[in-house]
Structure 1
Amino acid sequence: MNVTRRRAGQLVMGASAFVMLGGCVERLGRVTAAPPGVGPVQRDMYKDGLLRSTPEAQGVSSEQILAFLADVEGAGLELHSFMLMRNRHVVAEGWWWPYSPGRIHITHSLTKSVTAVAAGLAIDEGRFGFDDKVVSFFPEYVPADASENMRAMTVRNLLTMQCGHDKETSGSAWRPIDTPWAAEFFKIPVVHQPGGHFQYTSAASFMLSAIVGKTTGEAMADYLKPRFFEPMGIDRWHWDTSPGGVSPGGNGLTWNTAASIKLGAVHASGGTWNGHRILSEKWVREATTEQAPGDDDGAYGYQWWMGPGKAYLALGLFSQMSIVFPEHNAVLALFSAIDGSKKIKPLIWKHFPAAFVADKLPADPEAVVLQRKTAGLRLLPPLKPSHVAPPAGVNGKRLRVEANDQGVEWLSFDFAGDRCTYRMFDAHGEHVVTAGFADYLEQDTSMTGNRLHHEYRPPSQRVVAGARWTAPDTLEMTWQFVETAFRDTLVCTFAADGVAVDRSVNVNSKETRLPVLTGRIA
């Protein structure tokens, strides 16, 4: 599989055509209406190869799962999906439409725990060792005056986030950079003696990926394909590349919820999957036990966070999680748009592992309630068609945009029947999103959103778009970027001479609202 190519990684009934390429899905993009009524689990026919059971048959309390979902809803937290597994059986699962089982979702720093899989495999294959010096792999980038601390840094220090850096390097800092990121790594001052100071940073995870690539002769994503993705039945995924084709080890992986729960499950079983050994038991044990004191998020293993008791978790920005409860042979996987995992962690620890009551429980009517609840989950509210005439003089016209910091030159609105097509032109070309008034419309778009989207700027991304008139002169569009955590809201206020466009996002690491664009009728 060529991981540098754009993939859809999803199957949506009644949506765009698709073809299978190397285990992933590539769309033949067109705009399609989302199915009415919404029944995400029933409508998505994706087969993940996992066993199913009822909660009580595996000793799990349906009542506790319902209480967890109620607490999440009561706290106003935005989940996109969850899967709960015990004894290798999925006992509860749900997707908030338009998210669905086969749809891929960016994992952010959950990626780091997958990078740990690659590092563990490569170490066990003898490609490199824990005590190898980081500078030895990339002498071409090491400064002539490199400090003793930099020269002392080892692979083990990268794994435990004790590489001596004083500040975090976020993936958003390097994504706009076109030079090799390995060179950028060696520009970071190594203030502390490696091994004695914990500093969480995506730079350390990137270097692990770069070392795997350097010692195996292939990008980490390609190295993992026959060793991890294929044996685990992880067939829908995409991994971004950095300059030079190196897989970003700290982020950039997009896959579905089933893949997250499989990641946790193979660790819960000590490294085996369906009778086959994927990871060595020694590696799993060391990676998922405390190796460094960590910070407010807990102690740290090898690219895994430690939780209460013996729980451990893969954790990504905006609360993408795969949480393992090894004493209960259970895993909880979540995709979310929650700004700060501290908002949801207390709810998780409140109900799990308390939900794992016994080896087996009597049948409970609450299991039926839970099934009905999860079958009807929905994120985007139904649209209520409104009959407002589009503003005179605007329909189909290019509106010249006043000087702005986004590089936007013009925009336009085309109103036709029950949809509105919004076009925007900037330095990267023309971008289009078509929003429905009666039904949400699903499509691919190149619409620029990097400033609001943690600096991600893919050439194409999947969006579900709806529109409504909130006043005779005010159009509101909702763009749910369904392979990500991001949802943009555009409030377009029309006047006699043009329009003002106010664009914001539900979550982001930095700004959540762009300066208003003002378009004028020429």
Structure 2
Amino acid sequence: MPDLFMECGATSAKDLIAAQQADGLPRTDPSMAGVDADAIVAFLNDVEAAGLDLHAFMLHRNGRVVAEGWRWPYRPDRPRNLHSVVKSFTACAIGLALEEGLFKLDDKVVSFFPELIVEPDQGWLTEMSIEDLLTMRVGHASETSGAEWRSLNTSWIAEFFKIRLAQEPGTAFMYTSAASYMLSAILSRATGVTLHEYLKPRIFEPMGIEGESWDIGPDGINPGGNGLIARTADLLKLGVLHAQNGIWEGKRLLPESWVAAATTAHGEPAKYGYHWWTRPDGTYSAIGKFVQMTTVFPLHGATLAVTGAIKGSAKLFPYIDRYFPAAFRDQIRDDIEDGAAADARLKARLAEWQSPDAPAPWKEPYERAGALTDGARAPGQTERFLMHPNAQGVSELQFEFVDETCVFRLIDAHGEHVIAAGFGRWLESRANMPGSDLHHGYQLDNSPVVARACWLDNTRLQMTWIFAETAFRDTVICEFSGKTITFKREVNINGGELRHEDITGSLADSLAS
């Protein structure tokens, strides 16, 4: 087995604490910050009972992290694809650029791209302003998802100007990542640096946001609406910065007036601010696909950050509303004994999260199956299957069974892609496995994958691939029938199709090693 694969077990308490403290945020027990730990336990239990796949959460109140948890194999030090939460980081950059006098809210978008010609029947384009981009009132008839543009190798700026306007800019809300991309493009035109480079010294470094990465589009521009990978703590820090009206550790990072404007609704019915979602109760949120989210409770000095694999924030908000802000009860401080007992119950509940053996519906095949099934492929056996022509471009599949491990290789025009899945254990490696159409358009290059295998019966091999920096978890079933194979692959969540068409192949050879 290649040396690059390692077993992925539970994170030790010592390592978990070290990873948590690396974000630089001070911490205290929930009861000491006036937070009911039992309410947090009830929140987690109800979310789990509803079948919602919450991966991590952090709760901050009155200057300190008061509760946090990561469900295995997610960890505090693993960065995460934040999806559209990025839009609210982009808004920070626009607010700073306005403060620096680089442009104004009413500046026209076309003025930054004089090389592009506006067609006569696109006259409304000349009226579109920076503020229209911020409020998602650009006149588009439908949303442009980041997944639609990620496959393009041509200019995304030019692509934006091709979109026909259905309404006059500034009149009707239509959520679209295309608007956020143009904000990033305008910032780059005005500053000569990328959005990431602009935010790094102004926001990221002062707040201790490190180890992050941001995609670059074909124009040499960071997508302003997606593509940022950062820690759960960094997601929390974005919310806390706004909860503190732009102040971080005594230093002003954002203008107070900008924070107020960005988190105030600019029209009905969407109640959308400047790349922030607002709610009638005064809370506001940065929300990304599959519920990567930070929510601020201004009246309670609190911020909640979550990551998960959930089909829409509307599924999670009822549980947030049920327990927050009700969990913020300052009188808990007056009853230290009861508060400490509740804190201990929460700690025990969160310890369960870090176990690879914690129950989950998708783990059931591994609970039922043994490490190996009589009559299945023998240890030391290697098999190659030449695949019949298919839309995925897969030419060959290889299986090597060694040391209670299935080393799986998929070969296509781009090369060989390898994942090692353990029998009776989880293995972690880095992989470039294709399948962007199952992963919201993202090609996950050099991505950490946690994988396991089991035999469902003598002819069906199942593998689970957890892409640990994302919301995605793939289930692969290989059906062996004589000298043929049927390869099935599906994903837990996606913005598009959830499964590939099955592909088939024939045995090339079988070698004993």
* Structure 2 residue identity aligned to 1:411: L
Indicate conservation of the 8 Å contact 2:381/2:402, yes or no: no
Give 1:449 deviation, angstroms: 1.6
Deviations 1:354-410 (A, max 9, x none): 111226522221110001111220485475652335437994232111121101111
- Where do residues 365-384 of structure 1 align in structure 2 (5 Å cutoff)? 365-378=341-354, 381=357
d(CA) in 2 for partners of 1:212, 1:41: 43
Q: For residue 208 of structure 1, what is the aligned residue in structure 2?
A: 183
What letter corresponds to residue 474 of structure 2 in structure 1?
Answer: D
CA distance in 1, matches of 2:112, 2:327: 47
4+ residue runs over 6 A deviation: none
Partner of 2:282: 310
Would the aligned equivalents of 1:34 and 1:441 in 2 still touch at CA under 8 Å? yes
C-alpha contact 2:455 2:461 (8 A) present in aligned 1: yes
- What displacement does 1:31 show? 1.2
Pair 1:505-2:477 in alignment: no
Matched, 1:193 2:150: no
Paired letter, 2:274 = Y
Q: Find 1:161's aligned residue among 123, 136, 148.
A: 136
Deviations 1:188-235 (A, max 9, x none): 111111111000000000000111111010010011100010000001
CA deviation profile, 1:464-519 (whole Å, cap 9, x unmatched): 01111111111110100000000000011111112111101000011001111212
Q: For 1:36-78, what per-residue CA distance to the aligned partner results, in whole angstroms no more than 9, with x for missing partners?
A: x555774463211001111111111112111101110110110
CA deviations 1:408-462 (Å, max 9, x no partner) are 1111100002100111111221111011113211111010020100010133211
Cα deviations by residue, 1:255-308 (Å, 9 ceiling, x for unpaired): 11100110000000100000011000000000001113243xxx1000000124
SS at match of 1:403: coil
**Residue-by-residue CA offset, 1:301-331 (whole Å, 9 max, x unaligned):** 0000012411000000101100000111100
8 Å contact kept, 2:88–2:286: yes
SS in 1 for 2:454: strand
Q: Is the 8 A contact 2:377 2:401 kept in 1?
A: no
Change beyond 3 A, Cα 1:41–1:469: farther
Alignment partner, residue 494 of structure 1: 480
Q: 1:348 aligns with which of 320, 323, 327?
A: 320
Answering whether residue 36 of structure 2 is matched by residue 64 of structure 1, we say no
> Which residue of the partner structure matches residue 297 of structure 2?
325
- Equivalences for 1:30-429 in 2 at 5 Å? 30-35=4-9, 37-39=10-12, 42-43=15-16, 45-46=18-19, 47-145=22-120, 147-295=122-270, 299-358=271-330, 361=333, 362-363=335-336, 364=339, 365-378=341-354, 381=357, 385-388=370-373, 389-391=375-377, 395-429=381-415
**Paired residue type of 1:319:** V
RMSD over equivalenced CA pairs, Å: 1.9
Q: Could you tell me whether the CA contact under 8 Å between 1:42 and 1:375 is conserved in 2?
A: no
User: Equivalents in 1 of 2:77, 2:280: separation in Å?
Assistant: 31
| Aligned residue in 1 for 2:362 | none
Unaligned runs of 5+ in 2: 359-365, 509-513
Separation in structure 2 between the aligned mates of residue 340 and residue 110 of structure 1, nearest angstrom: 13
- Amino acid of the structure 1 residue aligned with 2:324: F
Say if 1:119 and 1:40 are closer, same or farther in 2 by CA, change over 3 A.
farther
Structure 1 unaligned runs (5+)? Answer: 1-15, 17-28
SS of the residue corresponding to residue 514 of structure 1 reads: coil
Distance of 1:491 and 1:102 partners within structure 2? 31
Please say if residues 438 and 491 of structure 2, whose CA atoms lie closer than 8 Å, have aligned partners that are also in contact.
yes
| DSSP 3-state at the match of 1:503 | strand
| Partner Cα separation in structure 2 for residue 41 and residue 314 of structure 1 | 31
SS in 2 for 1:130: coil
Kept after mapping to 1: 8 A contact 2:384/2:397: yes
Q: Aligned pair 1:443/2:443, yes or no? A: no
- Seen in structure 2, the aligned counterparts of structure 1 residues 72 and 254 have a Cα distance that, compared at 3 Å, is same
Q: Partners in 1 of 2:119 and 2:488 — Cα distance?
A: 49
Aligned to 2:511: none
- Partner residue of 1:517 out of 486, 492, 503: 503
Q: How many residues align?
A: 491
SS in structure 2 opposite 1:262? helix
- The 1:508–1:381 alpha-carbon spacing in structure 2 relative to 1, beyond 3 Å, is farther
Q: Indicate the larger mover: 189-198 or 330-339.
A: 189-198
The sequence identity of aligned pairs, in percent, is 46
State the match for 1:469 in structure 2.
455
Deviations for 1:90-141, whole angstroms, at most 9, x for unmatched residues? Answer: 1110000100001011011111001101111111111111000000011222
